Structure 1
Amino acid sequence: MTTTGSEVGSGRLIVLHDPDGNPAWDGTFRFVSFCRADVDFDMVNDPLLSEVGWTWLTEALNDAGADYHDASGTVTAVSSRSFGQLATEADRAEVEIRASWTPVFSTDDEVASHIAAWQALLCTTAGLPPLPDGIIPLSGRLDH
């Protein structure tokens, strides 16, 4: 995810499917998500960042109307400072959200609500405003 030419966050969304069902998922589908973004150093040291990061996921799912159960994951906040020959590298602070959940589908088109929730999660993690209604940024177009 880039804005004004610089990367502000990255993420992956994987949809797993086992037609026979998987007892660990308690369902036939499982969404697996990874989101990472740079944050301010003050933010990475906030003891509530992990709890807030987890609410970004649950609020995104709830706001998108994505029914789910068995959500699990981790929120990791790290900072790094380079030394020696790497001393010229800038200090970094990042937050990572690794999560998975079992979707509840009544109809096949309900997958869109889970994708919209993940997009909202990625935007929130990267500090970007949510996408307005009608804007769908996922495409087959590659930026060169």
Structure 2
Amino acid sequence: MVAPGLKYLGVMLPYTPLHHLLLAETGLPLVMTSGNLTEEPIAKDNDEATRRLHGIADYFLLHNRDIHSRYDDSVVMVETDKPIVLRRARSYAPYPVHLPFRARQVLACGAELKNTFCLTRDNHAFLGQHI
């Protein structure tokens, strides 16, 4: 069982050349997850990933690229053929959201876990990545 007790499952399309190579080689769907435990940030390097996740991961795909910014994946739900962004991160941030009105200049910040920030200017809202 992949995710017992969860109401929803997420799927992802391959967005890197490595994803395409893995899928072409196996010819099967793969179960993947980000390198983190619940309520924890993504591991920033191979040592941290293997140390924190050794008890729950069957395999590790390691690399020699430094991670300078821990970006989570964006999470989008489609309802009545319309995408709803639940977690704005990779591929969406920091692209602006166009507002139907002119806003005052505001800095808004989330609190504690699972937050982001937002800067407004004119009819644009600039949201940071999920933190």
TM-score under structure 2 normalisation? 0.23
Instruction: Flag the structure with more relative contact order, 1 or 2, with Cα contacts below 8 A and sequence separation at least 6.
Output: 1
TM-score under structure 1 normalisation? 0.22
Structure showing the higher strand proportion among its residues: 1
Structure showing the higher helix proportion among its residues: 1
Bigger-Rg structure (1/2) = 2
